[in-house]
Structure 1
Amino acid sequence: MNILVTGATGFLGGVVARRLAAAGHRVTGLGRDAARGQVLGADGVRFVPADLHDQAAWQAVLDQQDAVLHAAARSTLWGRWPDFVADNVTVSAALARASTRQGLRLVHISTPSVYNATGQHVQVSESTPIGPRFDSLYARSKYLAEQEVQSLCPDAAILRPRGIYGRGDTSILPRLARALRTGRLPRLTRHEVYTELTHVQNVAHACQLALEGKAAGLFNVTDGVSIPIWATLDTLADGLGAPRPQRYIPAAVVEGAARVLEGLAALHPARPEPPMTASGVRLLTRPMSLDLSRAREHLGYSPLIHPTQGLAEALEAAQEAQQ
Structure 2
Amino acid sequence: MNVLVTGATGFLGGAVARRLVAAGHEVRGLGRDAARGAELQAAGVTFVPADLRGADWRTLLRGTEAVVHAAARSTLWGRWADFQADNIWPSGELARACAAAGARLVHVSTPSVYNATGLTRQVREDTPLGPHFDSLYARSKWLAEEAVRAALPDATVLRPRGIYGVGDTSLVPRLARALKTGRLPRLTRAEVWTELTHVRNVVQAAELALIRPAPGVFNVTDGQPVPLWATVDRLADALALPRPARYVPARLIEGAAHLLELGARLHPARPEPPLTASGVRLLTRPMTLDLTRARERLGYVPAVTPEVGLADVFAHLRSQP
Q: 2:101 — aligned with what?
A: 102
Determine the structure 1 residue equivalent to 2:299.
300
Q: Please name the residue that 2:286 is paired with.
A: 287
- Whole-angstrom distance in 1 between the partners of 2:212 and 2:80: 34
Shift of 1:319: 1.5
Shift of 1:194: 0.4
Partner of 2:230: 231
Deviation digits for residues 217-275 of structure 1 (CA, Å, limit 9, x no counterpart): 00000000001000000010011111111000000000000000000011111111100
**CA separation in 1, counterparts of 2:74 and 2:58?**
24
Distance 1:119 1:4 in 2: 36
Q: Does 1:192 align with 2:191?
A: yes
1:242 and 1:74 mapped to 2: Cα distance?
Answer: 32
1:181 and 2:173 matched: no
1:64 paired residue number: 63
Tell me the residue number matched to 1:76: 75
Structure 2 residue identity aligned to 1:67: A
Q: 1:124 — aligned with what? A: 123
Q: Residue 219 of structure 1 corresponds to which residue in structure 2?
A: 218
Deviations for 1:52-81, whole angstroms, at most 9, x for unmatched residues?
11222x432311200000000000000000
Task: Give the 5 Å matches for 1:303-314.
Answer: 303-314=302-313
Q: Which amino acid aligns with 1:198?
A: T
Q: CA separation in 2, counterparts of 1:67 and 1:89?
A: 20
RMSD over aligned CA atoms reads 0.7
Q: 2:39 aligns to what SS in structure 1?
A: helix
Q: How far apart are residue 90 of structure 1 and its match?
A: 0.2
For 2:45, the equivalent position in structure 1 comes to: 45
Aligned residues: 321
Residue 28 (1) aligns with residue 48 (2): no
For residues 94 and 135 of structure 2, what CA distance do their matches in structure 1 show? 24
Matched with 1:18 is 18
Contact preservation (8 Å) 1:202, 1:303 = yes
- Deviation readout 1:178-236 (Å, 9 max, x if unpaired): 00001100000011010000000000000000011220000000000001000000010
Amino acid at match of 1:266: R
Q: Tell me, which stretches of 5 or more residues in structure 2 are unaligned?
A: none
CA-to-partner distance for each residue in 1:66-113, whole Å, 9 max, x for gaps?
000000000000000000011000000000000001110000000000
Task: Measure, in 2, the Cα distance between the counterparts of 1:149 and 1:92.
Answer: 6
Q: SS of the residue aligned with 1:308?
A: helix
- Report the TM-score, using the length of structure 2 for normalisation: 0.99
Please state whether the residue corresponding to 2:307 is helix, strand or coil: helix
The residue type equivalent to 2:262 in the other structure is G
TM-aligned CA deviation for residue 316 of structure 1: 1.4
CA contact (8 A) 1:173 1:318 kept: no
Partner of 1:262: 261
* Matches of 2:241 and 2:159, distance apart in 1: 33
